[in-house]
A = this chain, B = another copy of it.
Amino acid sequence: MGEFQYERISRELRQDIVGGLYRPGDRIPSEDELARRYGVSRMTARSAVSELVHEGVVYRMQGKGAFVAQSKIIRDVNSLAGFFQDMRERGLDPGSKVLRVETRRASQRELEQLGLSGAAEESVREVERIRFVSGEAVGYQRLVVPLHRVPEIASLDFRRQSFYAHLKEVGLPLRHAWQRMEAVIDPQIAALLSSPSQVPFFFIERVSYAADDQPVELLSSYFRADRYSYEVRIG
């Protein structure tokens, strides 16, 4: 046989999804139901569903079932817009939850990334946030800002205020940036976002600069790759 049982089951489920029998948000048959229907053990039915989960076609919720995933949100890599502005421009409903705000010394690695290798004793403000769209956690971001660039940051309320909007108000808008994009699978981040542990994430590290070519922020982001795609213009 050229096809294993779990492959047949996941193939037929996939066809039912692209064919529109199960639409985004719909529950697919339970593992027990699939096991009965195909005459296999539950572990085999589970393998079939796992394959779809790994592909991002389906996500699971314990105690509730397995559901067809939503389609993707497109982000413009070239844009220096912040998360809120970007989502609103797309007619979506952004949300944010601050996990942690702290002032501390920069690590050696952060100094290098920010191109501040020479500066010893540099203090930075660090902000950890979870990003939501329509109530669903879609991303995690860690923002590191050198205190000497934005001294008033210590008194900023990140629960109420957009950092990018603030930079514009104080005349320090971002002018250009450098970023590195990876695609990773990270169960810890997944757990933080209550998303399936095997969903791939875009991991993006960005260093942004103001008009004076000096760095203003180091932003590390994880966004669910089953929810986002990225557009780039070149040249």
Contact = CB atoms under 8 A, between A and B. Distances in A.
Interface of A: 43, 51, 54-56, 72, 74, 77-80, 174-187, 197-198, 200-202, 225, 229-235
A72 to B, nearest CB: 7
Nearest to A198: B54
A182 B201 CA distance: 10
A72 B182 contact: yes
Contact of A181 (B54, B80, B181, B198): B181
A80 B178 contact: no
Contact of A80 (B180, B183, B201, B235): B235
A198 B139 CA distance: 22
A230 B182 CA distance: 6
A185 B10 CA distance: 14
